[in-house]
Amino acid sequence: MITRLTNSPAEAAAFIKGGGIVAFPTETVYGLGADVFNDAAIRKVFDAKQRPADNPLIAHVAEAGDINLLSERISPAAQRLVDAFFPGPLTLVLPKSASVPLLATAGLNTIGIRMPEHPTARAFLRSCAVPIVAPSANLSGRPSPTTWQAVFEDLYGRVDCILQGDPTEIGIESTVVDCSVDPPAVLRKGAVSIEQLREVVPAITDWNADAAGLISRSPGMRHRHYTPAAEVIILERQQQPEGTERDAYIGLSPRLGTFKLMRVCSTPEEYASSLFEFFRECDRAGIVKIFCESVKEEGIGAALMDRIRRASGTG
Ligand code: TXA
Ligand code: MG
């Protein structure tokens, strides 16, 4: 398959209308989109990514009003979260409508719904005129793509079109909150922190604290994720790594030592937005070990540490 590269949301949307699959930028990571109501197109998404069929997809909408196309049961708590955080880096899991294909939800009776804020994503979704299911646009198991070049690296020749945009601002995936249970529960940490969520719905629970419960609620969490080829090692703040010229370091504090690649970030936000691309850079450079400095688990730091732990095999 020849993959078309374009800057035009309308041109990209035409591929969706023809039953194709399109990678597009959002403020979190790039997604790989298909028409939520087109089973054949959804199958292409799973094939292109080599994604396990038991991992459900997130449906993306252009307007909050479009949520009704996917779910008829929006609890008062879910509505408050929509009012507070849509558009943005938050996915809500809601009971699905009968019209939503089980292929999209991996057989679940719920559907994840997100309304991105990114202007190119919004323009693309509006042109599609239908909700778009989109997992992150990486090969399954690889770090999520934060640039169109990373999408190209994983999926060129496997997708119909790549809608090119700038590197994504947030750089890690959306917070996922299950609103089909009462009280709602955080299934995946992201840029919207649990502290922010609790300002709106104080009773929200953190399923990340309960691994067995989490896996039963969020099938995606059982799969290996966010893994570069190199070994990822978490480094406490005062710890001095024994790096060699085949190793790499990323963190907030400068380090002494001989690293082939070193990335010192000035804020946790910058660290989060750099992490996945740094992992890819390390793979391209044949790095053996990647030392990642740990950060305080507040705000984006909680989501960042979640991704680093998963990458290190300790999450
Ligand atoms: O930021 C994001 O969320 C990006 C962009 C493209 O929007 N998308 C993304 O999709 O990260 P994906 O497929 O890589 O991750 C979706 C996560 C998985 O952990 C999946 O298990 C969970 O959301 N999920 C989706 N639908 C669900 C459902 N109905 N119930 C429970 N978990 C669900
Ligand atoms: Mg993913």
Residue 213's CB is within 10 A of a number of other CB atoms, namely: 14
Q: Counting Cβ atoms within 10 Å, is residue 53 exposed (0-12), middle (13-18) or buried (19+)?
A: exposed
Among 71, 155, 173, name the best residue to mutate to test ligand 1's pocket (greatest count of ligand atoms within 8 A of Cβ). Answer: 173
pLDDT tens by residue, the chain, 315 residues = 899 999 999 999 999 999 999 999 999 999 999 999 999 999 999 999 999 989 999 999 999 999 999 999 899 999 999 999 999 999 999 999 999 999 999 999 999 999 999 999 999 999 999 999 999 999 998 999 999 999 999 999 999 999 999 999 999 999 999 999 999 999 999 999 999 999 999 999 998 766 555 556 666 665 556 678 899 999 998 788 777 889 999 999 988 778 999 999 999 999 999 999 999 999 999 999 999 999 999 999 999 999 999 999 877
Residue tagged 């899991």 (tokens): 93
Answer yes or no: is the C-beta of 100 below 6 A from any ligand 1 atom.
Answer: no
pTM of the model: 0.95
Structure tokens at 272: 């989060």
Do 278 and 308 touch, CB atoms closer than 8 A?
Answer: no
Q: By C-alpha distance, which of 138, 135, 133, 158 is closest to 148?
A: 138
Question: Using CA atoms, how far apart are residues 112 and 31, in angstroms rounded to an integer?
Answer: 14
219 close to ligand 1 (CB < 6 Angstrom): yes
Measured in residues, the chain has a length of 315
- 56 C-beta closer than 6 A to ligand 1: yes
